[in-house]
Amino acid sequence: AQKVTQAQTEISVVEKEDVTLDCVYETRDTTYYLFWYKQPPSGELVFLIRRNSFDEQNEISGRYSWNFQKSTSSFNFTITASQVVDSAVYFCALSATSGTYKYIFGTGTRLKVLA
Amino acid sequence: GAVVSQHPSRVICKSGTSVKIECRSLDFQATTMFWYRQFPKKSLMLMATSNEGSKATYEQGVEKDKFLINHASLTLSTLTVTSAHPEDSSFYICSASTGLAEYNEQFFGPGTRLTVL
């Protein structure tokens, strides 16, 4: 069975604080892909990153960084120096071979950045 | 590139009426399209997968006769909510895939908010 767990339902931080959003996944496949999406109040999903199971390098994009650790089946997302515009719901998703590459979404983490 | 549109963005209808939502891939051919449903403060739940020219594959628990999906061309899929009731009120999101990438990368539309009175 495939599963994505985002244990943090809601996080509130003050602007300029760093915040990490956790994502733990389950799959028996050796080939799989992990994603992070941002969903602002408008509802449209904004693609942030895709990672395949063979690439464990961490990635940094501006204030965003991702830590992929296969040993703990985690793909965590850190926002450095958070801003009010970062307020949104963030979803982690898994796509794997045995699931015919359907996307399995986590339950999402609502991030509130306070001015 | 890889833009997906949905129309309408918002619709309000009376109970018992049918509503059609269109999903279009604007700059690529989508061999596969997906329809999701999202309740307030909840995650996206896959409703069905449709391949161009064939019948949609529905996820367990999704009523085929209630949610009619047509994928008539490589750029258009439609979702018709038949005899809509208040409990069908939700945010419906489509996505499209070229099928070229191994991971079946999905490009998401902006969503349609359905309110049934």
> What CA–CA distance (Å, rounded) separates A86 from A39?
10
pLDDT in tens, A19-56: 999 999 999 988 899 999 999 999 999 999 999 999 88
Test A108 with B106 for CB contact under 8 angstroms: no
Note whether B44 contacts A42, CB cutoff 8 Å. Answer: no
Interface test with A, best of B44, B62, B93, B100 (most A CBs within 10 A): B44
Whole-number mean pLDDT of chain A? 94
Residue of A nearest to B59 (CA): A102
Confidence of residue B98 (pLDDT cuts 50, 70, 90): confident
**pLDDT at residue B101 tops 70:** no
Alpha-carbon gap, residue A70 to A32, rounded angstroms:
11
Strands (E), B1-117: 4-7, 10-13, 19-25, 32-38, 44-51, 57-58, 67-73, 76-81, 90-97, 107-108, 112-116
